[in-house]
Amino acid sequence: MTNRFIIPENQVVFVSLGGAGEIGMNMYLYGYNGKWLLVDCGITFGDGSIPSVDVILPDPTFVSEYSKSLMGLVITHGHEDHLGAVGWLWPRLRCPVYATPFAAALLKRKLTDVGLDYDVPVYPMALGGQLTLGPFSIEFVTLTHSIPEPVALAIRTSAGTILHSGDWKLDPEPLVGREVDREALTRLGTEGVMAMIGDSTNVFTIGNSGSEAEVRTSLTRLFASVEGKIAVTCFASNVARLESIIAAATANDRHVALLGRSLWRIVEVAQRLDYLSTICFHTVQDVAGLPQSRVLYVCTGSQGEPSAALARVAALNHPYVRLGHGDMVVFSSRIIPGNERAIHHLHNQFVRLGTRVVTERDHFVHVSGHPGRTEMAEMYELVRPRFLVPIHGEMRHLVAHADLVRSFGIASMVVENGQMITLGPDQPSFLGTVPVGRMIVDGCRIIPSDSHMLRSRERLMFNGLVVLTLVVDEDGHLVHDPQLTSSSTLDSDMECHEYEENPVIAAVRTALSRLSVDERYDDDLIRATARLAVRRSFKENLGKRPLTEVHLVRLSML
């Protein structure tokens, strides 16, 4: 076992394996009397700091050690940062998975993509439904968010009740899906909530997050002001926003075409579950012959993803769609922290084309799926928890959330990933730290974020790669001039022609000439000597320490 502390009996314990101290990669573990319950299993996305890394997973080492006593994994809703890691990590968990029908359908599609659709037991749970897993009795409490069927989890044990909020807001007019189950929240408050584990994302937002109905009205007015083509990008999973865009387009006599596979996948799942069932979506070919004033495209790529449909339109690389003067692009979504550069690059590309760019700063085109302070206050008035653990936020969000609830007379404790605490029934306390970290999806494999390969890749990004080829005779003397290849560090003319003798080659020759007769028979020593000479020369001449590989060929006499 990796933990170095005793987990007490008759106390509910909690540890975040991802999602506390960061936004994304949510994975939370509850323990009680030797049994465990996992809530959510999500991903986060690469920010460009590690080359070619797009998807990052929480490290499941700690929970996998308890896999035999892991009662199940419960998913709060269908966003990638809450279920996107299941297909990658389930082989280390091997437990049943429970989710509301929409999230379950999305998950099954993802499991099919990785060949696990027949291996992972996924059980759809009704909104308001109940489930017993070992010592945990779980109620799925309906909330609202930017995706259908989000739930809070009322986790009851003989020690007390915990309310895990998931992602939520109190939208009075969600338009798609059910309204918040205030009756259930009030009932929980009356019964008594020992602890609440709560979303901190919008703790700095004063007032309410806003209603989807208000966005729909605003989009309708905005579209009326445009004579050219319109392209709108939003999160594909925001089914209510898709419906709002369609309604606003229809009110302005526009036909809507979807651009992007993820949009079509979401629509297929939504319509199968009777969401968007009365709406007809078009392909780009369907609307190709229509006047530009009657066309609206909904595109993937709201976060600047380079392979998404919107990026291809911006780069004039889409086979059917061109935007220019008189057209408009609407970013009906928020910027996820870390994606600013990619999104602003898209903005600039469209501005160069003469296309008008509209964001939430310019017009009311988006509302968040997370609660503002007024909604938080209303939730705590309904639920009245004795204790709060803030999650789903950076450290600044967690601390601000803890400060907020203290003003309501609610105790709180700020913890980051890996810090295990007790929630009750005794006074909450810190137990110790369990192993946490990040796993990188690299192609079709998973590797630790601190692996030597990734460190080498990072060094390569900043310092380049040099390959030196040496050919020596039996006695270790150079037979030919060393060959230096460095496409990422030196220009080709500098490698061969800029100097009478390349200073790096000269440094290698000098270093090898100092080897003794016996040392020349040691291939590893020759490589190490040449590598050190290359790195020192690059540092002196270019201020770089590139990754250096030395290929040694030793000729032997027949």
Q: What is the mean pLDDT of each successive set of 10 residues along the chain, which is 558 residues long?
A: 69 97 95 96 77 82 92 97 95 96 96 90 97 98 96 98 97 92 98 97 94 95 96 94 96 96 93 91 92 95 92 94 96 87 95 96 95 97 97 96 96 97 95 91 75 69 82 91 76 47 87 92 93 90 84 83
pLDDT of residue 394: 94
pLDDT of residue 489: 61
- Largest distance between two CA atoms of the chain: 92
- What CA–CA distance (Å, rounded) separates 37 from 47? 30
Calculate helix-pair angle for 523-542, 503-513, nearest 10 degrees.
Answer: 140
Q: Three-class SS of residue 83? A: helix
- What CA–CA distance (Å, rounded) separates 456 from 113? 30
Q: Three-class SS of residue 483? A: strand
- What CA–CA distance (Å, rounded) separates 10 from 220? 56
Architecture label for domain 212-358: 3-Layer(aba) Sandwich (3.40)
Other CB atoms within 10 Å distance of the CB of residue 546: 22
DSSP 8-state secondary structure symbol assigned to residue 504:
H
262, 349, 273, 237: which is closest to 304 by C-alpha?
A: 349
Cβ atoms 440, 424 nearer than 8 A = no
- What CA–CA distance (Å, rounded) separates 161 from 193? 5
- What CA–CA distance (Å, rounded) separates 189 from 181? 13
Cβ atoms 441, 56 nearer than 8 A = yes
Q: Which long-range contacts (CB under 8 A, 24 or more apart) does 406-413 make?
A: 408/377, 408/380, 408/381, 410/380, 410/385, 410/386, 411/386, 411/387, 412/387, 412/388, 413/387, 413/388, 413/389
The answer for 211, left when phi > 0, alpha when psi is -120 to 50, beta otherwise, is: beta
- What CA–CA distance (Å, rounded) separates 46 from 338? 9
Domain ranges of the chain: 12-207+368-448, 212-358, 464-554
431, 414, 413: which is closest to 422 by C-alpha?
A: 431
pLDDT of residue 558: 57
Residue 190 phi/psi, 5° resolution? -70, -40
- What CA–CA distance (Å, rounded) separates 132 from 109? 26
Within 13 Å of residue 501, how many CA atoms lie on the same side as its CB? 9
394 contacts: CB under 8 Å, gap ≥ 6 = 21, 22, 23, 337
What Cα–Cα distance (Å) separates residue 451 from each residue in 35, 49, 456?
Answer: 32, 15, 9
DSSP 8-state secondary structure symbol assigned to residue 213:
H
Calculate helix-pair angle for 261-272, 101-113, nearest 10 degrees.
Answer: 140
Cβ atoms 208, 170 nearer than 8 A = yes
The length of the chain in residues reads 558
pLDDT of residue 335: 87
pLDDT of residue 127: 97
- What CA–CA distance (Å, rounded) separates 35 from 23? 27
Cβ atoms 338, 302 nearer than 8 A = no
pLDDT of residue 131: 97
- What CA–CA distance (Å, rounded) separates 398 from 392? 8
Cβ atoms 445, 439 nearer than 8 A = no
Query: Class of 464-554 per CATH?
Result: alpha beta
Cβ atoms 231, 323 nearer than 8 A = yes
- What CA–CA distance (Å, rounded) separates 92 from 276? 36
Q: What single-letter amino acid sits at 12?
A: V
**203: Cα separation from own chain's centroid:** 20
Q: What single-letter amino acid sits at 145?
A: H
Other CB atoms within 10 Å distance of the CB of residue 424: 19
Q: Give domain 12-207+368-448's CATH number out of 3.30.465.10, 3.60.15.10, 3.40.50.300, 3.40.1360.10.
A: 3.60.15.10
**Assessment of whether the complete model's pTM goes beyond 0.95:** no
pLDDT of residue 1: 44
- Torsion sign, CA atoms 170, 176, 181, 182: positive
